[in-house]
């Protein structure tokens, strides 16, 4: 279950969050036969190995799954930050926001 912040700093389920942010979502094809080729602008380099391919074939559904997973991970990181600052997580809390 994905989580989001309440104004009190605690968390509530994402499904209960305001649906206004979903109004601007673009429709995408759920047809699994549609493929998209994604290619990097700069080639990879490898040390003592063959570099991976610069292009990969994927589907819109797979890309949305990647994005959804990334968004859930980011929200959990924000929740961990909030809990750490509230002193509910002891020890160290190494966050990766702002990393490239």
The pLDDT of residue 42 = 86
The pLDDT of residue 95 = 84
- Secondary structure of the chain in the HEC alphabet? CCEEECCCCCEEEHHHCCHHHHCCCCCCCCCCCCCEEEECCCCCCCCCCCCCCCEEEECHHHHHHHHHHHHHHHHHHHHHHHHHHCCCCCCCCCCCCCCC
Q: Whole-model pTM?
A: 0.57
pLDDT reading at 17 higher than 90: no
pLDDT reading at 18 higher than 90: no
> Mind listing the pLDDT tens digit for each residue in 20-53?
455 556 666 666 678 999 898 888 888 899 888 8
> Mind listing the pLDDT tens digit for each residue in 57-97?
999 999 999 999 999 999 999 999 999 999 998 888 888 77
Which is more confidently placed, 69 or 7?
A: 69
């Amino acid at each position: 279950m994905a989580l989001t912040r309440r104004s009190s700093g605690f968390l509530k389920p994402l499904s209960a969050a305001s649906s206004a942010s979903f109004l601007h979502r673009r429709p995408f094809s759920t047809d699994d036969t549609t493929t998209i080729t994604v290619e990097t602008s700069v080639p990879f380099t490898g040390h003592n190995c063959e570099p991976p391919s610069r292009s990969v074939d994927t589907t819109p559904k797979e890309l949305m799954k990647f994005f959804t997973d990334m968004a859930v991970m980011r929200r959990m990181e924000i929740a961990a930050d909030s809990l750490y600052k509230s002193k509910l997580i002891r020890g160290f809390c190494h966050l990766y926001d702002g990393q490239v």
